[in-house]
Amino acid sequence: MKKILAVLLVGILALTGAGAAFVVSHPDMQMEVMTNYVMENMKGYHWSAFRMEDPVTPALTQALGEDHPESVSAFYNYMKDSAERMTWEIVSTDPQNLTAQVEVTYVDGVDFLQHYSDALCQHIMDSLEDGSLEQSNLATLMTALPDEKNRDMIVDSAEKSDPTKTQTATMTLQFAKQYGLCIPQGVSDEAMNVASSGLFQGIDGMKDMVAQRLIPQMVDRVFQTIQRFDQKELQTLTGRSLEEMIGMKQDSPLYQPFFNYLHSCAGKIRYTVGAFQKEEGKIEVECSFLDSKGVIQRYLEGAGSYIFSHLTHPVITDEVNARLLEEAIQASEEERVKKTVTITFDPTDYSQFSVSDEIQDVVSANLNREISGISEGFNQLANSLTGGSWKQMIDGLVDKLPHVGLR
């Protein structure tokens, strides 16, 4: 009977416009009435009942951009529709301190945010890939999207989200007593978060949430380009051209065999992208890739055998040199190694990042480390021989090799 009376009183208060206050003549019952009144108005987003302006629209406008009114409206509608599913139980009332404890069950907005951030990340990645959106500070990418597109993604995410997924929270409502009247003291951040399906406090951090989901996808796309051996992307990522990494110009007879070999190795790179570590501003990628050590060893063996079998005519041509490398590549067994590549991001601009040196090992199949063994092997061979012509021939061969850490 008390609950029926409370609901009737709430209706009367709403109809008469007396909803902002109620004479406290029967403290316990009046606290229950006012608590239900507050919850009903929170459920309906009737902010005027609390003598306050709408707090939701400004927060959404700040997050989504002033030129995105349709997106703001769609987001607002989702939060308001979800609030209407809110249920509550009054745990206790304290007329002395004018407080009430309320246990509220509300729609969990995390499911909606997951759908929305997935759609947003996919759209951003597609737009970056086709060139319709330039990669700038990720914090501005949400506001760079067309309002209509963003609105459609919000509406679609709302339709996909599950309204039966709920959270339960116990919150405190505070009232004030003025001239014998019990007046609700606005809406606290705690209550506002409940009324917004847990999204109100997360609006400011929504950009970071998108960035944290977007960055691993971007890193994944980067490594896909590595697997495709996209030279432009490789240079952007490593800071060095392929010529610099393998230490030779494109007109070198060894360049094309090495290029073909590394292209083949790149397609066999396996990697696992870790989670973005926001505090450290980094992400780690575990890589498994082919090691060129066996190719270098076989190449040295083949070149040495060729030289010793042609001592009467110590000349090794560019064509022979390239053929020896091709044979070494074909005869070598695949051997995998593992390394962790760390990508560190600028916390103020996620589009700015640095990559650890291990990426060069992954891209070059450790060739940038192993290739110095070629010159060392030929230098040892030269030192073991006597006679100017042989020494000159080997020195000439070494001069044609990559110039990274040689001699």
Q: What is the 3-state secondary structure (H, E, C) of the chain?
A: CHHHHHHHHHHHHHHHCCCCCCECCCHHHHHHHHHHHHHHHHHCCCHHHHCCCCCHHHHHHHHHCCCCHHHHHHHHHHHHHHHCCCEEEEEEEECCCCEEEEEEEEECCHHHHHHHHHHHHHHHHHHHHHCCCCCCCHHHHHHHCCHHHHHHHHHHHHHHCCCCCEEEEEEEEEEEEECCEEEECCCCHHHHHHHCCCCHHHCCCHHHHHHHHHHHHHHHHHHHHHHCCCHHHHHHHHCCCHHHHHCCCCCCCCHHHHHHHHHHHHCCCEEEECCCECCCCEEEEEEEEECCHHHHHHHHHHHHHHHHCCCCCCCCCHHHHHHHHHHHHHHCCCCEEEEEEEEEEECCEEEEEEECCHHHHHHCCCHHHHCHHHHHHHHHHHHHCCCHHHHHHHHHHHHCCCCCCCC
The total of other beta-carbon atoms located within 10 Å of residue 326's CB is 17
User: For residue 405, is it within any domain?
Assistant: no
- On whether both 284 and 175 belong to a single domain, the answer is no
- On whether both 158 and 251 belong to a single domain, the answer is no
- If one counts the domains in the chain, the total is 2
User: For residue 391, is it within any domain?
Assistant: yes
- On whether both 249 and 187 belong to a single domain, the answer is no
The total of other beta-carbon atoms located within 10 Å of residue 66's CB is 9
- On whether both 318 and 251 belong to a single domain, the answer is yes
User: For residue 340, is it within any domain?
Assistant: yes
- On whether both 106 and 246 belong to a single domain, the answer is no
- On whether both 78 and 25 belong to a single domain, the answer is yes
User: For residue 198, is it within any domain?
Assistant: yes
The total of other beta-carbon atoms located within 10 Å of residue 209's CB is 15
pLDDT at 379: 54
Are 20 and 183 in contact by the 8 Å Cβ rule? The answer is yes
- On whether both 292 and 349 belong to a single domain, the answer is yes
- On whether both 160 and 12 belong to a single domain, the answer is yes
pLDDT at 2: 38
- On whether both 169 and 245 belong to a single domain, the answer is no
Along the chain (407 residues), what's the average pLDDT of each consecutive run of 10 residues? 37 39 57 89 88 84 87 94 95 90 93 86 76 56 77 94 93 84 79 86 66 80 85 78 78 82 92 88 93 85 79 71 86 91 80 82 81 55 48 50 38
- On whether both 48 and 126 belong to a single domain, the answer is yes
User: 167, 188, 204: which is the final residue of a domain?
Assistant: 204
User: For residue 219, is it within any domain?
Assistant: no
State how far the Cα of 106 lies from the Cα of 43, in Å rounded to an integer: 10
- On whether both 177 and 241 belong to a single domain, the answer is no
pLDDT at 317: 76
pLDDT at 1: 36
pLDDT at 11: 39
pLDDT at 8: 35
Is the whole model's pTM more than 0.85, yes or no?
A: no
User: For residue 220, is it within any domain?
Assistant: no
User: 171, 189, 204: which is the final residue of a domain?
Assistant: 204
User: For residue 284, is it within any domain?
Assistant: yes
- On whether both 293 and 352 belong to a single domain, the answer is yes
Domain that holds residue 135: 2-204
Taking each helix axis from N to C end, the angle separating 293-308 and 372-384, rounded to the nearest 10 degrees, works out to 30
User: 204, 219, 252: which is the final residue of a domain?
Assistant: 204
User: For residue 209, is it within any domain?
Assistant: no
pLDDT at 184: 83
